[in-house]
Structure 1
Amino acid sequence: MASAGAAAAAGGTGLMGLGELQLRRPATRLQWLALACSAGLGLVGVELAWHHPLSGLLALAAWAAVAVLAALFWVKSPVAVLAPLPLVGLAPWTGWVTFEEMDLLVTAAGCGGYLAYAVQLNARDRSPTWRRALVYSPAVLLLIGLMALSALWSIKRGFSDAGGFSFGWFHGYHEAMNSVRNGKAIFLVLVLLPLWTAAAAARPRGFSRGLLLGLVIALAGASAAAAWERLGYTGLIDFSTDYRTTALFWEMHVGGAALDGFLVMTLPFALLALLRTRSPWAFSMGLVIALLAAYACLTTFSRGVYLALPLALVP
């Protein structure tokens, strides 16, 4: 009886479905490289959080919390990065343009995720020997490399046009660090791409669910922010006033279509989740999110959205 109970406990999923938590010494070059990436991202993230204009201590605590969650649930780390994306742009309150809260999310998720991968924190998340991870073709790797080199060259050109490189936490659009703001996006993607590729290989279903959940929550946040904005400035049913919705995408104060693109790219995933769910409660929640997102799309008054959204929904 006792041995059976011990075996059941050892084979169970553990607290909150975490499985068997453990720490192992990195055994492969990839694991050592992941450990180095975790350390590097940790240093960058802590430095950014400590200099946060609103509160360095609060930012550091939030960064650490995200890093811990990303380590415990590294396969589902897309939730931690994508879900708060449309709500964490605090530039109107911080004055930061070059650095953003998104940078804190990426460094925290990368630090925790790569650490979990390096030390094999959860036995359930080890990729089976028979399952092969996604392998990028040489052509794809070449295109990614060329894109990264192009971004680096653009940053260099921006430094030259600004009179040379000079670091500043609060540089604006005409100073050197604005080039970093414009060029860093691809590098944020490249930071997480190997981690998420490994996560998809370790637990494909868990990673897919985390990715889908993160996108749906992000869409809900952006749509709710758009409705809140309309309620505060024009009213929810006023469609005649000349007012363009921006939600909390502060970048749109000089134009652009950040909200438009975000809605078009995330709404199809919400509809996918709506079609896949079997729970009446989840279906009701998904329907509310989809309707709220449709309202947000309507109030953008963007011909691009009106044209792109039907195309995005075509299987």
Structure 2
Amino acid sequence: MTEPRIATSFDATSTAAEVAAGIDLTGRVAVVTGASSGIGVETARALAAAGARVVLAVRDPSAGRTVADDIGRSTGGDVVVAPLDLADPGSVEAFVADWEGPLGILVNNAGVMMTPETYTRQGWELQFATNHLGHFGLALGLHDALVADGAARVVSVSSSGHAGSPVVFDDLFFDRRAYDPGLAYGQSKTANVLFAVEATRRWATDGITVNAVMPGGIFTNLQRHWDPEVLASTKRAAAGLAKTPEQGAATSVLVATAPALEGVGGRYFEDCREAEVVDEITDGLHGVVPHALDPVAAERLWDVSLELWERARG
């Protein structure tokens, strides 16, 4: 029998601050990747306002310090900055090596979208490397810190773009097919959901749950690689429908903090509720397709990712 989808009192119009109202994270520590712009800023702000000590894990520490100062002023919270380049395994390993103490919330928020064909030093396609493999290595390295918290939550920020492609295991890095930035983005976002499925299966007994989220339609720096005409027409079509960054951060904050979601993992949330499983995302925004929740693919992705990560570490 299929479990009922999880609903909450919040919806697409709710903000991160509204979701976090009444939540007390005093004594807890949170990491938000990609927190120097977009929804990462508002995710970090809401967590800091709830009392968490928040680490902004960012590629540009200078930009991160500007954001940290702003959040500190607006919330009175404890916000610090640490360098992290998810496309560089060495940077991820350095972040992990410097970590001390328990970690209660890890928001894997950073991401790139529709980039020109680019490869890391390891030969990894950039979107898959940044959006999935870097976050995989980060969570893996912080596992013991998450265990030490006792009830840790990991948020894997995905997208409805996952419907564009399953993970193509036989050609992850476009070695045998023409590079398509949309397909590359799609498989990286599918990987974000599959990570939540398999990490929960492996780590729930350690007191760690992982869920994936779709923030919604939001215009941020994420679209900087789009064709300008396409971006302009999309913005016109979305007039009145797009979310603000504060609204876009709400589902991440909900999954990271809501008492009702204690012990819940391996699911995909949108608009502050669990998404419906659909064969096709017809409106470009809502629903999760079956290939993103496939437990067989999730286990295979974990094994492949672990092999790639260990090889990169040398």
Same fold (TM over 0.5): no
Larger Rg: 1
Which structure has the higher relative contact order (CA within 8 Å, separation 6+)? 2
- TM-score, normalised via structure 1 length: 0.30
